[in-house]
Amino acid sequence: MIGGGAAVLLAVLGLVVKLQSDAASGAARAAATSASVERQLQEARAEATQKLAEEQARSRALEAKQEAHRQELEQAQAAAAKERAAEDERRRAEAARAEAARAEAVKAEAVKAQAQRQRARAASRGSSAPATGGRRIRTSL
């Protein structure tokens, strides 16, 4: 019996050692899996952080481009408004010059007409007035 008990004891000891070995192996595998999962998680976090930073950079670049485009539009609109104002001013100045020229022409016509009226009056007086300085000579006695 002692031999059978020793054999059973050896078998139990072998079984305990095998179970401990399996448990240690399982724990090692679990630790390795946990470390692998942790590493994968860190890599995923790092990748997500990098993608977020890239997306933010693209977003900032797009915003800067849009802002530059908006400023270009504002400058173009301001230049167009300035050009329109200058053109309006040129038109007003031309209209003022034309009006001044018309007024000058009307004034010249008025002066010319006045001179003609004075000549006509002088001519009508001259034909009825004698050439002797304004005295009439009586010819009938």
49-105 pLDDT, tens per residue? 999 999 999 999 999 999 999 999 999 999 999 999 999 999 999 999 999 999 999
Residue 35 lies in a domain: yes
Residues 6+ apart with CB under 8 A from 130: 136, 137
Q: Of the candidates 133, 132, 116, which has an alpha carbon nearest to the alpha carbon of residue 124?
A: 116
The answer to whether residue 37 is domain-embedded is yes
Per-residue pLDDT at 134 exceeds 70: no
Q: Is 6 a member of any domain?
A: no
> Residue 39 — left, alpha, or beta (φ > 0 → left; ψ -120 to 50 → alpha)?
alpha
Structural domain harbouring 60 = 31-117
Instruction: With CA atoms as reference, report the closest residue to 16 among 24, 28, 27, 2.
Output: 24
Task: Give residue-wise pLDDT tens across range 34-43.
Answer: 888 888 999 9
Whether 18 is in a domain gets the answer: no
Q: Is the predicted pLDDT of residue 107 greater than 60, yes or no? A: yes
- Give a yes or no: residue 23 inside a domain: no
With respect to residue 8, please indicate whether it lies within any of the assigned structural domains: no
Residue 103 lies in a domain: yes
Q: How many domains does the chain have?
A: 1
